[in-house]
Amino acid sequence: MDIFGFYNILYRVIYIYVIGMCIWSIFTHKEFQRQIGYAMIMVPFLLRVLGIK
Amino acid sequence: MAEKEVVKKGIIALVIVLAIISLGSVYFLRQRIEAPIVSGPGVTKISMLSDYFEGLKGSRADTEVYFLEGEEPGGTMLLMCGTHPCEPDTLLSAVMFIENAIVKAGRLIVVPRAQKTGYEQTQPGRGYPPRFHIKQDGDNMRWFRMGNRTMDAAISWPNPTVYVHYPEGQTLAEGETLNLNRNHPGRPNGRLTEKLGHAIISLIKKENIDVSIDPHEAPPDRPLVSAICAHERAVDVATLSVLNMESIWGVRVRLEMSPKNLRALSHREWGDHSQTLAMLIETPSPMHGPIRGKATEKLLLDAIDELELRAAKAGRVFCPYDEKGYPISVRNARHVQHYIEIASAWTELNPDKPIIIENIPTYTEIVENGVGHYLAVVEEPEPWLFPIPGIREFFFNEGRPFWGYGSGWTYDKVLGAKPR
C-alpha cells in the first residue's frame, strides 16, 4: 500500500470518528436545534465516507 | 421521560438528514452516469487504459480506449480527447470518429474521456450547466456531460500547496496537481493524476504511436487559441496541416512551437519521453474563460457572448470573434477536419506508414448539416433527477424547465436551423 492508500484509510477513520461523535452529540443534547445542527454537520462527512461525493 | 424525548427528537433529526442525503445522493450519483457512445463500423477493439498501467485498475480514473484498425498496415494516430471535460467539443470530436470513422490504412486510437472523473462534476463556482444537448435529425436530442477542468479533488486528496512536477522539478500552483495536462509524463507511484499521465505515456510507448493529438478549447481572450502547438519533431506535419486548413477550408490556425522550458504539458512531455509527434490543438470557446456572462447551455452551443464581444472590440482577444460566435458545429468541424489534415500530412511525409481515415464528414458538411446529423441516434432516455414517472412532465413546461436552463434549450432554437 502506498502513502496515498494510507491517507485514504486515515481520513475515512477520522471521518467515521466525526460521524460517531455527531451521533453521540445528537442523543446527548436536549435542544432540538442543537440536534439538528449536529445532524447537518454530519452530512458532508457521511457523503464522503459512503463514497457518494 | 425526558430521555425518551431526547431520543425521539434525535431520531427525527437523523431522519431529516437522511432524507437530505438521499436527495443529494441521487443528484451526485446521476452525474456519474456516462453519456452513451456507440461503437461505429470502424471500431475493432475497446480496451481500458489500465491495460497499459496496472496502477489505474479499479480506480475511477480508468477509461476506455477505442481502436480503429485498418486492413492495410501503416502508422498509428492517437486522439487523446477529454483532457479538460469543461471543453465540450473535444468529447464530441472523439465521438464523431468513434461512431463514423473507417480506417483504411494504419490505426486510429481514440480515448474519448481521458480525464474521466472530471465528467462526474462541474467546476465549483463557475455555474456550468451539468449537460448539453445536440439536436439530431427528427426530434432526437443526444445529451453529453459538461464537466470540470480537473480531476475530482475529493479522490486525489491531499494535494500539495506547491506542486513540484516530476521529473523536471518545475513548480506549479496547487490547483494544477489535478490538471491532467500538467501531469505528463506522470509517474507510477504518484498521485492519481500522475498515475493517469503515466498510463497515457505507457499507451503511447507500447502501441508505438506515431502521431498524438491533444485537442482542447480555449476562450478567445487566452493567448493560445485557434492554434496548434507542436513539439519540434512534429513541426513539419503541423505546418502542412495548417497550410491545408487555410488553403482548402479557409480556416486560419496559428502554428506555435512547444516551449522547451514549459514542462508538464502534453505537447512537450509526450514528444520528449516517447517516439510520438505530439501536437495540441485549440479551438475558440468563451464558455470556460474569465470574460463571459452567465454560463448557459446556449453559450456552450453557440459561443456568442456580449462581454466577449466587448473584449473583442477593445482588442483584448487573440482570435477573430464577432456576433456569429463559434457554434458547436463550427468548432467540431475545425477539430475533425484538422485531425484528418494531420493524418494526411503524416501520410504525405511518411508514405511507407500511411494513416488513411474515411467516412468522416468534411468541414463544410459539418458546418452545414450540424454535428447531430452525423452522430448515432441513441434511444436510451436521458437519466433525470428523480426516477419517478411523470415528474419530468410536471416540472417541464413546453420543453423548458422551470429553473430557466437545461434540456429545454434546443439546438434549432439557438441557431434557427429547421428540423429535418
Average pLDDT taken over every residue of chain B:
87
Cβ within 8 Å, pair A46-B6 = no
- Nearest CB among B13, B20, B28 relative to A52 is that of B28
> How many domains are contained in chain B?
1
Burial label, B404 (beta-carbon count in 10 A; 0-12, 13-18, 19+): exposed
- B98 vs B104: CA distance, rounded Å: 14
B24 touches chain A (CB under 8 A): yes
- Nearest CB among B7, B20, B157 relative to A43 is that of B20
* Cell numbers representing residue B159 in the block: 494535494
Chain B contacts in chain A segment 26-45 (CB below 8 A):
26-30, 32, 35-36, 38-40, 42-43
Biggest CA-to-CA distance, chain B: 89
Domain contains B420: no
pLDDT of B167-198, one tens digit each? Answer: 888 888 888 999 999 999 999 988 899 999 99
Confidence of residue B215 (pLDDT cuts 50, 70, 90): very high
> Using an 8 Å Cβ cutoff, are B98 and B43 in contact?
yes
Question: What CATH number corresponds to the domain at position B367?
Answer: 3.40.630
> Using an 8 Å Cβ cutoff, are B221 and B312 in contact?
no
B19 touches chain A (CB under 8 A): no
pLDDT of residue B406: 37
Domain contains B207: yes
Distance from CA of A6 to the nearest CA of B (A): 11
Distance from CA of B187 to the nearest CA of A (A): 13
Cβ within 8 Å, pair A47-B189 = no
Which amino acid is present at B407? S
pLDDT greater than 90 at residue B109: yes
Residue B156, SS3?
coil
Give the residue numbers spanning the domain of A11.
3-49
> How many domains are contained in chain A?
1
Average pLDDT taken over every residue of chain A:
87
pLDDT of B378-390, one tens digit each? Answer: 876 666 655 555 5
Confidence of residue B289 (pLDDT cuts 50, 70, 90): confident
Give the residue numbers spanning the domain of B58.
40-415
Instruction: Quote the strand ranges of B155-303, DSSP E.
Output: 162-164, 171-173, 211-218, 227-230, 254-257, 277-284
> Using an 8 Å Cβ cutoff, are B144 and B134 in contact?
yes
Domain contains B140: yes
* Cell numbers representing residue B50 in the block: 489500465
Domain contains B5: no
Which amino acid is present at B386? F
